[in-house]
C-alpha cells in the first residue's frame, strides 16, 4: 500500500502541467483527475500540540475547478490503531475517525466554513466566526465520498463556489485561507496543516493562504415546503405551506428570502427550568437564519452575547399570544472591493407583528478590519422603536498578538420609557510561545444599554476586567492517561456601573485531552464576599458571603459497545456560603447495539440548599431545592440518508420553603412573615422523529411531539416527577416535506 501511495504521488507530480480530467467524487483518488493539484504532506500534531510530524501518514490534494473547490485526503491508519465503525447522523459531534476541510473563501479571517467527513461517511458542516466560534446550525450543499481499504481510507470533497458569498477576485486567481486536518478517534490525535489549534487566540486568521484559479458560479434555488399537523384538541388537520428562496447571480452577491417560514417542531430544544434573572440562550436551526449569517456576527465577547440573536424573530409575541408568525424575511449579502455588506429584514404577522431590520458593513485592510452594524426593531403593539448601532475593530499586527474591540449604543423610543445607553468591549491575546499565553479582557455596559429587542445580552450595568494566563503541557509521561493539558489561571473583577462589587474571582481550569480520545475538564472558582444586584430585578442587592465552586466534566468516546458523558459540581450558596453545600451530577451512558443503532439513558440530580427565588419587590424565598431529570433516547442511523431519533427528557423540581426574606438597603437578608408557597415544576419533552433525505437539503420528516410545563405549589419532587409524564400541553403529529429545486 505504501508503494501504491508513492506511485500515486509521483503520477500526480508528473501531471502538474497537464490538463486534469473532471473530478468524480467517488472516494477513489484517481491520479488523472487530480493532475495539477497542490499536494500537501506536512501534517503535524496539533492535539497534542507538539508541532511534530503526525504519527500516521496523511496527504491531501487541493484543486480549483469550475464546479468548486476540490479536496482529496488520503489517510493511513496502521492495523494496531482501532478504527471507528460508529455511524453518525449529520452534524453529530461524534468522537470518531474524521477529516476536516476548513475554508475562508475571502482569506481575511472573518468567516470560515468547516466541512467534516467521518470515515463511515457521515458529515457535519459548521460556520466559524470570531476566530474559533463554531456553529453547527448551518447546513450547506457539497459533495463528498469515502472509500476504505486495509491501509486506511480516502476522502474526496467538492465544495461549490456558490456555497458562500465571496469577494470578487483580483484577476484570474483567488486567495483563500485553508486548513485541513485528520483526527484519530481512538486516541484523539489531531494532525493538521497548518499546525494551528482552535484553542489559541488566533485560528481562522492564520489559515494558510492558497492562491487558486478563480471561478464563479450562479445559483437560483427554491425550497417549497408543506407541513401537515394533527394536534390534540383541534378538529381535523391543519396545513401550512411556504418557501425559502436563494439567488446567487455571481460570487459577490447573494439574496435569500423566506415566505411564511415553517417553525414546526422538527428540532427540539433541551429542557430548561430557569428562575434566574438571566435569559436562557438557544441556537437557531431555521435555514433562512443560518444561510450565510456569518457577516452579521457582532459578538460583544461575553459568552453568547450578540447584537443579532435571530431567535427574537418569531419569538414570543408582544401581545402574549404565543410565538409570533412571520410573513416574510429577506437577506442580501455582498461585497464591493474590500467592503462586505449584509442587509436583513423580517416582518411578523398581525397587528402586534414586529418589524426587524439590520445593516452590516465590514472592511478589511491588511492587519486590521473595521465594521459597523445597525439594527432597528419596531413594536407597534408597545409603541416602541429600538435602535442599536455598533462599531467593531480588529488588529492583528503579527501571528502572536491580536486585539478585538467594539463600541455599541442603544436608543429606545417609547412613551414614558425613552432611554439611551453605551457599552464597549476589548480583548487582547498574546501567544508568548508554544507553552505560555496571556489574555486581557475589559467590558463596560451602561445601566441604560438595551440591545435585547434584536440582540442578546445577559446583563447590562457592569464593568468587568480579567487577566488570564494559559499554560500548555504536551510532554506527558508514557504511562499517563492524558495526551496534553491546558491550564488556565484567571483573576477577574465585576462591578456595577455604580461601583457595587458583584464579584471578585480567582479561577483555575484544566482542559485535558485523554489518550482514549476523550476529554476532561476541571474548574475551581473562588469568590470573595460580594453583592448580587440582579436577584431582586432592580431592588436592593443581596450581600453574598465568600464561597467557591468545583466543576467536572468528562466525555469518554465509544470503547467496545459503551460510551458515556458525566458532569457535576459542588459548591456553596449565596445565602450562607460554605454552610450547607449544594451539588449536581449527571451521567449519560450510551450502549451501541450495532454501529448504527444506539440507546442512551441518563439521569441527573441536583441539591440546591438555600436556593433564593425572587417573589416581588425585595422579597425572596429561600428553598431547599431538588431537581431530578432524565435524558434518554434512541438513535438509529439507517444509512447516511435516513435516521430515526427518539428523545425523552424530563425535569422535576421540588423546592421546600425554608423561609421568606426581605433584602434590606444594606444587602442583608432579614426574615419576613409574608407568606410564600412551596414550589414545584414538572417539565416534559418527548419526540419521535424520522428523517429521510430525498436529495441534498430536501427532506421528509415524520414527527410526533408531546410535552408540557407546569408550575404549582406542590414541593414534592417525586410527585412532580410522576406528574411530568402525564403532561400534554403539546400533543401533535406532523409531516413535513421540503424539496429544493435548482435552476
Query: What integer pLDDT is reported at residue 269 of this predicted model?
Result: 82
Query: What integer pLDDT is reported at residue 263 of this predicted model?
Result: 62
Residue 687 predicted with pLDDT over 90: yes
The answer to whether 507 and 525 are in contact (CB under 8 A) is yes
Same domain? 544 vs 555: yes
Name 247's bridge partners: 220, 255
Task: Pick 65 or 267 by higher pLDDT.
Answer: 65
Same domain? 52 vs 68: yes
Polymer length in residues for the chain: 743
We report the CATH number of the domain holding residue 454 as 2.40.160
The three-class DSSP label of residue 737 is strand
Same domain? 414 vs 296: yes
Query: What integer pLDDT is reported at residue 411 of this predicted model?
Result: 98
CA distance 199 to 698: 35
CA distances 252 to 168, 176, 249, 583, 725, Å, are 6, 15, 8, 53, 52
Q: For residue range 283-322, list pLDDT tens digits in order.
A: 888 888 888 888 999 999 878 899 999 999 999 999 998 8
Flag whether 62 is in a domain.
yes
Angle at 162 between CA 156 and CA 165, to 5 degrees: 120
Mean pLDDT of 338-357: 95
Flag whether 353 is in a domain.
yes
We report the CATH number of the domain holding residue 115 as 2.60.40.1190
CA distance 549 to 476: 28
CA distance 385 to 418: 10
Of 416, 432, 460, the position where a domain reaches its end is 460
Give the helix/strand (H/E) hosting 519: strand 519-527
The three-class DSSP label of residue 364 is strand
Percent of the chain with pLDDT over 90: 83
In total, how many domains does the chain have? 4
Mean pLDDT of 201-211: 92
Same domain? 494 vs 597: no
Only one residue has cell 484553542, namely: 199
Same domain? 468 vs 429: no
CA distance 301 to 361: 19
Query: What integer pLDDT is reported at residue 265 of this predicted model?
Result: 59
Flag whether 221 is in a domain.
no
Query: What integer pLDDT is reported at residue 2 of this predicted model?
Result: 42
CA distance 36 to 65: 11
CA distance 113 to 292: 10
CA distance 733 to 237: 10
Name 492's bridge partners: 466, 505
Query: Strand 419-431 relative to strand 436-445: parallel, antiparallel, unpaired?
Result: antiparallel
Give the helix/strand (H/E) hosting 60: strand 58-65
Q: For residue range 520-559, list pLDDT tens digits in order.
A: 999 999 999 999 999 999 999 999 999 999 999 999 999 9
Same domain? 101 vs 182: yes
Flag whether 446 is in a domain.
yes
> Helix (H) and strand (E) counts for the chain?
3, 41
Residue numbers of the domain that contains 294:
283-460
The answer to whether 623 and 646 are in contact (CB under 8 A) is no
Percent of the chain with pLDDT over 70: 97
Flag whether 259 is in a domain.
no
Q: For residue range 483-522, list pLDDT tens digits in order.
A: 999 999 999 999 999 999 999 999 999 999 999 999 999 9
The candidate with the shortest Cα–Cα distance to 640, out of 702, 590, 595, is: 595
Flag whether 38 is in a domain.
yes
Task: Pick 511 or 337 by higher pLDDT.
Answer: 511
pTM for the model stands at 0.90
Query: What integer pLDDT is reported at residue 9 of this predicted model?
Result: 41
CA distance 720 to 218: 56
Query: What integer pLDDT is reported at residue 221 of this predicted model?
Result: 95
Same domain? 649 vs 740: yes
Query: What integer pLDDT is reported at residue 11 of this predicted model?
Result: 39
Q: Which cell goes with 139? A: 447546513
Residue 336 predicted with pLDDT over 60: yes
Only one residue has cell 495539477, namely: 36
Name 408's bridge partners: 390, 423
Only one residue has cell 466525555, namely: 555
Same domain? 657 vs 677: yes
Of 471, 493, 516, the position where a domain reaches its end is 516
Q: For residue range 24-80, list pLDDT tens digits in order.
A: 999 999 999 999 999 999 999 999 999 999 999 999 999 999 999 999 999 999 999
Average pLDDT taken over every residue of the chain: 92
CA distance 262 to 285: 11
Mean pLDDT of 347-363: 96
Same domain? 473 vs 438: no
- Distance in angstroms between the alpha carbons of the first and the last residue of the chain: 43
Contacts of 433 (CB under 8 A, 6+ apart): none
Mean pLDDT of 688-711: 94
Flag whether 251 is in a domain.
no
Q: What are phi and psi of 258, to 5 degrees?
A: -140, 135
Q: Which cell goes with 52? A: 511534530
Same domain? 468 vs 550: no
Of 172, 192, 216, the position where a domain reaches its end is 216
Same domain? 176 vs 316: no
Give the helix/strand (H/E) hosting 244: strand 238-250
Flag whether 719 is in a domain.
yes
Residue 267 predicted with pLDDT over 90: no
Same domain? 338 vs 308: yes
Name 101's bridge partners: 115, 180
The answer to whether 539 and 618 are in contact (CB under 8 A) is yes
Only one residue has cell 411531539, namely: 705
Amino acid at each position: 500500500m505504501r508503494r501504491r501511495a508513492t506511485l500515486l504521488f509521483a503520477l500526480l507530480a508528473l501531471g502538474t502541467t497537464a490538463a486534469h480530467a473532471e473530478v468524480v467524487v467517488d472516494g477513489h483518488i484517481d491520479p488523472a483527475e487530480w493532475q495539477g493539484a497542490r499536494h500537501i504532506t506536512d501534517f503535524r500534531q496539533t492535539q497534542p500540540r507538539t508541532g511534530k510530524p503526525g504519527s500516521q501518514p496523511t496527504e491531501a490534494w487541493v484543486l480549483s475547478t469550475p464546479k468548486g473547490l476540490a479536496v482529496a485526503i488520503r489517510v493511513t491508519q496502521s492495523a494496531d490503531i482501532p478504527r471507528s465503525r460508529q455511524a453518525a447522523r449529520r452534524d453529530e459531534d461524534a468522537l470518531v475517525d474524521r477529516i476536516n476541510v476548513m475554508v475562508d473563501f475571502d482569506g481575511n479571517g472573518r468567516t470560515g466554513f468547516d466541512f467534516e467527513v467521518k470515515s463511515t461517511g457521515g458529515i457535519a458542516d459548521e460556520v466559524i466566526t470570531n476566530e474559533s466560534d463554531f456553529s453547527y446550525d448551518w447546513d450547506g450543499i457539497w459533495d463528498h465520498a469515502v472509500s476504505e481499504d486495509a491501509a486506511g481510507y480516502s476522502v474526496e470533497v467538492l465544495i461549490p463556489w456558490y456555497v458562500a458569498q465571496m469577494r470578487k477576485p483580483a484577476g484570474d486567481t483567488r486567495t483563500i485561507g485553508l486548513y485541513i486536518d485528520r483526527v484519530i478517534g481512538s486516541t484523539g490525535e489531531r494532525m493538521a496543516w497548518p499546525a494551528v489549534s482552535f484553542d489559541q487566540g488566533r485560528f481562522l486568521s492564520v489559515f494558510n493562504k492558497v492562491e487558486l484559479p478563480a471561478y464563479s458560479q450562479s445559483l437560483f434555488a427554491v425550497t417549497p415546503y408543506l407541513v401537515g399537523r394533527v394536534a390534540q384538541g383541534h378538529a381535523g388537520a391543519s396545513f401550512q405551506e411556504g418557501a425559502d428562496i436563494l439567488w446567487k447571480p455571481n460570487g459577490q452577491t447573494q439574496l435569500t428570502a423566506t415566505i411564511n417560514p415553517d417553525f414546526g417542531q422538527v428540532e427540539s430544544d433541551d429542557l430548561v427550568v430557569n428562575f434566574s434573572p438571566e435569559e436562557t440562550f438557544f441556537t437557531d436551526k431555521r435555514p433562512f437564519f443560518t444561510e450565510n449569517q456569518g457577516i452579521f456576527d457582532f459578538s460583544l465577547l461575553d459568552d453568547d452575547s450578540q447584537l443579532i440573536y435571530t431567535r427574537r424573530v418569531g419569538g414570543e409575541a408582544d401581545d402574549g399570544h404565543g410565538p409570533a408568525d412571520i410573513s416574510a424575511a429577506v437577506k442580501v449579502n455582498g461585497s464591493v472591493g474590500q467592503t462586505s455588506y449584509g442587509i436583513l429584514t423580517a416582518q411578523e404577522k398581525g397587528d402586534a407583528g414586529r418589524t426587524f431590520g439590520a445593516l452590516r458593513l465590514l472592511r478589511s485592510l491588511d492587519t486590521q478590519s473595521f465594521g459597523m452594524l445597525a439594527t432597528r426593531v419596531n413594536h407597534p403593539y408597545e409603541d416602541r422603536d429600538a435602535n442599536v448601532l455598533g462599531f467593531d475593530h480588529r488588529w492583528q499586527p503579527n501571528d502572536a498578538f491580536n486585539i478585538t474591540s467594539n463600541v455599541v449604543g442603544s436608543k429606545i423610543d417609547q412613551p414614558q420609557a425613552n432611554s439611551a445607553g453605551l457599552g464597549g468591549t476589548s480583548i487582547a491575546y498574546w501567544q508568548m510561545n508554544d507553552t505560555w499565553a496571556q489574555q486581557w479582557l475589559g467590558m463596560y455596559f451602561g445601566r441604560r444599554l438595551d440591545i435585547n429587542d434584536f440582540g442578546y445580552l445577559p446583563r447590562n450595568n457592569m464593568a468587568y476586567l480579567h487577566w488570564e494566563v494559559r499554560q500548555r503541557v504536551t510532554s506527558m509521561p508514557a504511562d499517563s492517561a492524558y495526551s496534553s493539558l491546558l491550564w488556565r489561571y484567571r483573576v477577574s473583577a465585576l462591578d456595577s456601573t455604580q461601583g457595587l462589587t458583584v464579584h471578585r474571582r480567582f479561577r483555575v481550569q484544566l482542559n485535558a485531552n485523554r489518550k482514549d480520545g476523550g476529554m476532561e475538564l476541571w474548574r475551581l472558582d473562588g469568590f470573595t464576599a460580594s453583592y448580587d444586584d440582579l436577584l431582586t430585578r432592580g431592588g436592593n442587592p443581596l450581600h453574598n458571603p465568600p464561597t467557591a465552586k468545583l466543576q467536572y466534566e468528562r466525555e469518554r468516546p465509544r470503547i467496545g459497545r459503551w460510551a458515556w458523558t458525566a458532569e457535576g459540581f459542588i459548591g456553596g450558596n449565596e445565602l450562607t456560603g460554605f454552610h450547607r453545600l449544594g451539588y449536581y451530577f449527571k451521567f449519560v451512558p450510551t450502549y451501541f447495539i450495532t454501529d448504527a443503532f444506539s440507546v442512551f439513558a441518563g439521569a441527573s440530580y441536583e441539591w440546591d440548599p438555600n436556593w433564593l427565588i425572587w417573589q416581588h419587590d425585595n422579597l425572596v424565598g429561600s428553598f431547599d431545592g431538588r431537581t431530578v431529570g432524565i435524558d434518554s433516547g434512541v438513535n438509529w442511523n439507517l444509512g447516511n440518508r435516513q435516521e430515526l431519533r427518539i428523545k425523552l427528557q424530563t425535569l422535576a423540581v421540588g423546592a421546600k420553603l425554608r423561609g421568606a426574606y426581605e433584602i434590606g438597603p444594606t444587602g442583608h437578608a432579614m426574615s419576613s412573615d409574608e407568606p410564600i408557597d412551596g414550589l414545584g415544576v414538572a417539565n416534559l419533552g418527548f419526540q419521535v422523529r424520522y428523517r429521510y433525505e430525498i436529495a441534498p437539503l430536501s427532506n421528509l420528516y415524520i414527527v410526533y411531539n408531546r410535552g408540557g410545563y407546569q408550575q404549582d405549589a406542590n414541593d414534592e419532587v417525586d410527585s412532580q416527577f410522576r406528574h411530568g409524564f402525564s403532561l400534554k400541553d403539546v400533543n401533535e403529529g406532523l409531516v413535513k416535506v421540503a424539496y429544493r429545486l435548482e435552476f
